[in-house]
Amino acid sequence: MDLNMEEIIMGIIVHSGSARTLSMEAIQEAKKSNFERAYELIEEANNEFLEAHKVQTDMIQKEMNGEKTPIGLLMVHAQDHLMNALTVKDLAEEFIEIYKTRQK
């Protein structure tokens, strides 16, 4: 795997990690009844996912055009990181709604 590919894959990891962190922060804000801030953090997380998906989509398009992507441990880790972060964000959105309902 060349350095450029490693940098590209690290982009998925970095953006996914940021999205996960923002999602967890959103839960903490909702717990404190700061719902406006919680939604802002979810929006920031969505922006991070958008960046990760851009990288992923670019890699998929290249592969569809015959440029094979090496499947190494780093790539598997990046995809795992992305999927886990998406799950955390989905759960964060649910927690926000639960805290919001509980407050009423």
pTM over 0.85: yes
Domain that holds residue 61: 5-102
pLDDT at 13: 95
Catalytic residue list: 77
Give a three-class secondary structure readout of the chain.
CCHHHHHHHHHHHHHHHHHHHHHHHHHHHHHCCCHHHHHHHHHHHHHHHHHHHHHHHHHHHHHHCCCCCCCCHHHHHHHHHHHHHHHHHHHHHHHHHHHHHHHC
pLDDT at 63: 86
pLDDT averaged over 10-residue windows placed end to end, the chain, 104 residues = 77 96 98 97 97 89 85 90 96 97 86
Tokens of 21: 């962190």
Domain CATH number, residue 16: 1.20.58.80
pLDDT at 72: 86
Tokens of 60: 């998929």
Number of domains in the chain: 1
pLDDT at 56: 87
Positions at the binding site for Mg(2+): 80
